[in-house]
């Protein structure tokens, strides 16, 4: 009768496999993390000239409308190491500061001192309350950015992070990648992402939107300035009030149509084969729409 005991070779192989799996789940040099929070605040001069810059990394930024003369922030940071003590020591290398410059501008910043340009898997996130009229410059990586109730202009730079800006008054400039952007409010919207949708809702908005392999939609009213929405391999949806007047230059490729519903278009250029150039109403802002392999849909609200 053959033995039921495993061979020496099989036993060694199983032991090596178990050791490898153990290393993957908990024995690496950065397997343990440590996180904590810091509370920071500063008095600021109220008014529309206030500029607030926030710099985090591998984490989110959330900005809310707060008191008219104060900045208050909660910053959460995390470090990593082979033990709890190592992870806590690593997190201590993240310097968090809130500084008010002589000109009144504010900088909230988190820096991994060991390697500021490449913090690895350490993280720094912030929730910040600012005066409602502040102008914002928000920078992070691999993290989402959101704002609500901010009247000043907003600039956002992130990567692999979604951006959601609510009740914008002073317009927004957004740069991200591989995640969606959603904005509602007024002013100029200058938005670029990739491989993710852009959803815009505005009143009197000036729109420049660029993405790829994902849809773009705008609903609301436009300013008298030139407008531009461009993507690839997905549809563009434009919803404007009935009775609007504008110039239309819409082009797609690969077979889909340019659909116009609820508006009468007087053709002034090319028409057909995925192209429509014309005037709606008495004319007005020039609207340029570009995509490929999907339809363009312009409809009245």
Render pLDDT for 96-143 as a digit per residue (tens, 0 to 9): 999 999 999 999 999 999 888 888 889 999 999 999 999 999 999 999
Query: What pLDDT, on the 0 to 100 scale, is given for residue 271?
Result: 74
Render pLDDT for 197-238 as a digit per residue (tens, 0 to 9): 999 999 999 999 999 999 999 999 999 999 999 999 999 999
pTM for this model (two decimals): 0.87
Kindly list the distances between the CA atom of residue 238 and the CA atoms of 119, 220, 221, 231, in Å, as whole numbers in the listed order.
41, 9, 10, 13
CA-based nearest residue to 63, from 143, 148, 144:
148
CA 172 from centre of chain: 11
Render pLDDT for 248-280 as a digit per residue (tens, 0 to 9): 999 999 878 899 999 999 998 777 779 999 999
Render pLDDT for 134-174 as a digit per residue (tens, 0 to 9): 999 999 999 999 999 999 999 999 999 999 999 999 999 99
pLDDT value at 20 more than 50 = no
Render pLDDT for 38-68 as a digit per residue (tens, 0 to 9): 999 999 988 889 999 999 999 999 999 999 9
pLDDT value at 26 more than 70 = no
Query: Checking phi first, is residue 9 left (phi over 0); if not, alpha (psi -120 to 50) or beta?
Result: alpha
Query: What pLDDT, on the 0 to 100 scale, is given for residue 269?
Result: 77
Query: What pLDDT, on the 0 to 100 scale, is given for residue 28?
Result: 55
Query: What pLDDT, on the 0 to 100 scale, is given for residue 74?
Result: 98
Query: What pLDDT, on the 0 to 100 scale, is given for residue 24?
Result: 32
Render pLDDT for 230-245 as a digit per residue (tens, 0 to 9): 999 999 999 999 999 9
């Amino acid at each position: 009768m053959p033995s039921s005991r495993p061979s020496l070779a099989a036993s060694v192989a199983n032991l090596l496999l178990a050791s490898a799996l153990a290393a993957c789940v908990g024995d690496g040099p950065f397997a343990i993390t440590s996180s904590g929070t810091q509370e920071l605040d500063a008095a600021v001069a109220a008014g529309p000239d206030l500029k607030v810059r926030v710099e985090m990394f591998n984490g989110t930024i959330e900005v809310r409308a707060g008191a008219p003369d104060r900045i208050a922030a909660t910053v959460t940071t995390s470090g990593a190491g082979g033990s709890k003590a190592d992870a806590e020591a690593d997190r201590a290398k993240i310097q968090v500061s809130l500084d008010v410059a002589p000109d009144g501008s504010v900088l909230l910043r988190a820096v991994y001192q060991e390697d500021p340009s490449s913090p690895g898997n350490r993280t720094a996130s912030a929730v910040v309350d600012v005066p409602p009229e502040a102008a914002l410059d928000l920078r992070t990586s691999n993290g989402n950015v959101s704002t609500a109730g901010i009247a000043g202009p907003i600039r956002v730079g992130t990567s692999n992070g979604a951006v959601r800006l609510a009740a914008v008054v002073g317009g927004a400039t957004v740069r991200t990648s591989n995640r969606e952007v959603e904005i509602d409010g007024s002013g100029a919207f200058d938005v670029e992402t990739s491989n993710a949708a852009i959803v815009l809702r505005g009143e009197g908005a000036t729109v420049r939107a660029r993405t790829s392999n994902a849809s773009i939609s705008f609903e609301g009213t436009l300013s008298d300035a030139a407008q531009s929405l461009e993507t690839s391999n997905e549809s563009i949806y434009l919803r404007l009030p009935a009775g609007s007047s504008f110039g239309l230059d819409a082009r797609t490729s690969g077979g889909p149509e340019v659909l116009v519903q609820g508006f009468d278009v007087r053709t002034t250029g090319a028409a057909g084969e995925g192209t429509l150039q014309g005037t709606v109403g008495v004319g007005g802002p020039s609207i340029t729409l570009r995509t490929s392999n999907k339809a363009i849909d312009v409809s009245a609200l």
